[in-house]
Structure 1
Amino acid sequence: MIPREQYMQRIRPFIGNELIKILTGMRRSGKSVMLDLIKDELRGQGISDDNFISFNFESLANTKFCNARALYGELSRRIASISGKSYLFFDEIQEVTDWERCINSARVDFNCDIYITGSNAHLLSTELATYLGGRYTEFVIYPFSFQEYLIGRKQTATRIDPAKEFHSYLELGGMPFLINLHEEREASLQYLRDVYSSVILKDIIKRNKIRDVDLLERIITYVMANIGHTFSARSISNYFKSENRRVAPETVLNYIRACCDAFLFCKLRREDLVGKRILSVNEKYYLVDHGIRQAVYGGNNRDIDQLLENIVCIELIRRGYNVTIGKAGEQEIDFVAERADKKLYVQVCYLLSSPETIAREFGAYKPIRDHFPKYVISMDEFDMSRDGIKHQNIRDFLLAKAWD
């Protein structure tokens, strides 16, 4: 297993206490492995495997426990034979009917520490707010960062070139299983298409009872083509109208929201940096794993500027920052990232290849008068920092332990 210490640092303080630990994220992003890493952590604290009770609800072996009463009955039976605290692990809990009632009862009735995973944000957040309000903490698990990707590659290769590996990461993304298929590009793309199909079928179509699958796929393709670009549900509706297909903006919005709930996309709002308010129009959308775009839509190497922006966006979110798009007058800042008392601004481009590009990227910060760190990130190998604004190669930015 590849250690994912970034997540363990956040989870560790909650191990052993009464709060239910919720691990959410896209299918195949590594949630099940995180449960195994948590078990290793517990073993290191002297907890015996005899105190672990685990269910993976994607397995047919657990189909008979996919309703709250049956699962509670099985828990009661197993916990009765355990001495001391029980550690309960439920993988893909959303497959269990009325699961939230069972989990809440287990929390109340048993001496236990509970960990669950799920692949649908709306389902989890809605039910947890209703039945477990204030008694849980949630961690979103994303596909591998570039740093985690390199750690995985070092386990399978005797020698690696980070620059070359980044080009592979840029095209195929960071879904953990791809480490096993690194030398097989076509197999990697097939795997990503299968993951996409699973997300579409199980977490979007099935859970939202979507009937017009063709429309859903067309909307997804539109968003994939326009990652990092501002657009509205109405603009998509107008696009379909130009193709002689009438689609209400509300339908478009509902379909995109379902994709966000399934962790296919994440939405960033725009923030007026002068007026200190969130703007309600023209959000931007990014893919949680950019490799799926290559498998389904293609063009990652062609649209490299969009992909670099996507990678930086997800890295900021992965590290726990609240990220918005900054607007200061006529200028726009790609990302404004805040976490606790930390804040930074990030501009992303492909290459600083001309005086005009340099002026545009660095000049975007002119209206910003505070002293928080300001970055320009690109593929350039030479440091072009100036006027207190830091320039970094994207690999160095992604591999940095902290930004200041």
Structure 2
Amino acid sequence: MIKRELYMSRIRPFIGNELIKVLTGLRRSGKSVMLELIQQELRQSGVSEQQFICYNFEQMRYAHLCQAQNLYQEVLSRAKAIEGKVYLFFDEIQEVEQWEKCINSFRLDLDCDIYLTGSNAKLLSGELATYLAGRYVEFVIYPFSFAEFSDMYRTIVPDASIGQCFSTYLTEGGMPYLSNLRYEVEPSRQYLQDLYNSVVLKDIVKRNKIRDVDLLERIIAYVTANIGTTFSATSVSNYLKSEGRKVSPETVLNYLRACESAFLFYRVQRQDIRGKKILAVQEKYYVADHGIREAVFGGNMRDIQLVLENLVYLEFLRRGYHVTVGKAGNQEIDFIGEKQNQKIYVQVTYLLASEQTIQREFGVYDHIRDNFPKYVVSLDEFDRSRDGIKHRNIRDFLMAESWE
């Protein structure tokens, strides 16, 4: 089991205190394992296993507890037999109707430490979430980073080079369960296809009561084919019209929001660097796991430039950056990451194969006069840094402990 220290280091300061710990993220991205890792840490600190109360609400045996009142009575009954603090672990809490009322009551009625997971970004945005306002801290759990993937892959293929690890990562992606399939191509692809169907049906269609599943799938296919490229809801609407499907831009936006809420896509806004304002049109989208993209739609190696961008974008999110796309006149910087008054600029390309490409990728920084780090990231093996702009091989960039 990979320790996932990136997340544990963030969660650890909150273990044992009254704030509710909420772990969100794409289905099967490792949230349940994080609960196990937290339990493991608690045991090591002297907490008894008997103090844990754990439920996964996707399991049929707990179906009767998916009503808040039933869950409340069950937990109170079990807590009476526990000496000391009670540790509550609720997996996929969104399956419980009016779960917020129930969780808030535990917080008030028990000496407890509460951990929740959920597969929907709207988990804490509904009316009932006002019960928990200011009383929780949220952690988004992402599929394996390249560093985590490499550690896991080398437990299966001990002599794998960094290049072999990256080649496999490009096609298989970072979903943790693939290690149980030993990253064998066909079983992995089948698993990822089934996972995709589960996300679409359970977390998007069912949760948002979507009736036109065919339209949803067409929109998902369009966005997946165009990750990392700017487009608008109107351009999607026009494309679908050319395919014989009439749909308004507003409907497209609603369907995209549903996909975002299920953590299937991430939307990135554009920032006018000179005017220092967020632009409201022509946003970009990236997919939560490029392995799902390859399994369901194919084309990762054909679209490798876009897939490399996808990898870098998700690594920004893992490291806690707020990310925008930079626009300076007619030029565009792939990513501007901001965190705690720090900023980093990153330009991603496949290969610096010609002097023209080099001039284009490095030239986007010509009009940026601040002293924050500026990178060009590619698959090239040789360092082409120049004029204070750092060039890094993407493998090294993704594995680096710090980008500052």
TM score, norm. by length of structure 1: 0.99
Residue 51 of structure 1 aligns with which residue? 51
**1:94/1:124 contact within 8 Å kept:** no
Residue 21 of structure 2 aligns with which residue? 21
Residue 312 of structure 1 aligns with which residue? 312
- Tell me by how many angstroms 1:265 deviates: 0.3
Aligned letter for 1:147?
A
**1:27/1:199 contact within 8 Å kept:** yes
SS at match of 1:283: strand
Aligned letter for 1:214?
D
Residue 68 of structure 1 aligns with which residue? 68
Residue 177 of structure 1 aligns with which residue? 177
Deviations 1:60-86 (A, max 9, x none): 111111110000001100110111100
Residue 101 of structure 2 aligns with which residue? 101
Residue 141 of structure 2 aligns with which residue? 141
Residue 258 of structure 1 aligns with which residue? 258
- Tell me by how many angstroms 1:154 deviates: 2.3
**1:23/1:140 contact within 8 Å kept:** yes
Residues 374/276 of structure 1: CA separation in 2 closer, same or farther (3 Å cut): same
List gaps (5 residues or longer) in structure 2: none
- Tell me by how many angstroms 1:242 deviates: 1.6
SS at match of 1:346: strand
- Distance (whole Å) between structure 2 residues aligned to residue 201 and residue 401 of structure 1: 37
Residue 245 of structure 1 aligns with which residue? 245
Deviations 1:230-277 (A, max 9, x none): 000000001111223210000000001000000000000001111111
Residues 153/128 of structure 1: CA separation in 2 closer, same or farther (3 Å cut): farther
- Tell me by how many angstroms 1:183 deviates: 4.4
- Tell me by how many angstroms 1:127 deviates: 5.0
Aligned letter for 2:12?
R
Aligned letter for 1:336?
I
Residue 292 of structure 1 aligns with which residue? 292
SS at match of 1:324: strand
Deviations 1:347-371 (A, max 9, x none): 0000000011000000011111100
**2:100/2:129 contact within 8 Å kept:** no
- Tell me by how many angstroms 1:395 deviates: 0.3
- Distance (whole Å) between structure 2 residues aligned to residue 156 and residue 81 of structure 1: 43
Aligned letter for 1:355?
E
Residue 335 of structure 2 aligns with which residue? 335
**1:100/1:127 contact within 8 Å kept:** no
Name segments (4+ residues, structure 1) moved above 3 Å. Answer: none
Deviations 1:141-165 (A, max 9, x none): 0000000001111222331111011
- Distance (whole Å) between structure 1 residues aligned to residue 182 and residue 64 of structure 2: 37
- Tell me by how many angstroms 1:123 deviates: 3.2
Aligned letter for 1:299?
G
- Distance (whole Å) between structure 2 residues aligned to residue 70 and residue 129 of structure 1: 20
- Distance (whole Å) between structure 1 residues aligned to residue 68 and residue 273 of structure 2: 48
- Report the RMSD for the aligned CA atoms in angstroms: 0.9
SS at match of 2:115: strand
- Distance (whole Å) between structure 1 residues aligned to residue 81 and residue 245 of structure 2: 61
Deviations 1:351-392 (A, max 9, x none): 000011000000011111100000000000000000000000
**1:377/1:391 contact within 8 Å kept:** yes
**2:172/2:183 contact within 8 Å kept:** no
- Distance (whole Å) between structure 2 residues aligned to residue 346 and residue 308 of structure 1: 12
Residue 365 of structure 1 aligns with which residue? 365
- Distance (whole Å) between structure 1 residues aligned to residue 155 and residue 44 of structure 2: 23
- Tell me by how many angstroms 1:129 deviates: 3.8
Residue 375 of structure 1 aligns with which residue? 375
- Distance (whole Å) between structure 2 residues aligned to residue 298 and residue 332 of structure 1: 27
TM score, norm. by length of structure 2: 0.99
SS at match of 1:89: strand
- Distance (whole Å) between structure 2 residues aligned to residue 128 and residue 164 of structure 1: 48
- Distance (whole Å) between structure 2 residues aligned to residue 125 and residue 11 of structure 1: 21
SS at match of 1:333: strand
SS at match of 1:368: coil
- Distance (whole Å) between structure 2 residues aligned to residue 232 and residue 176 of structure 1: 33
196-205 or 155-164: bigger deviation: 155-164
Aligned letter for 2:97?
T
Residue 198 of structure 1 aligns with which residue? 198
How many residue pairs end up in the alignment? 404
**2:98/2:128 contact within 8 Å kept:** no
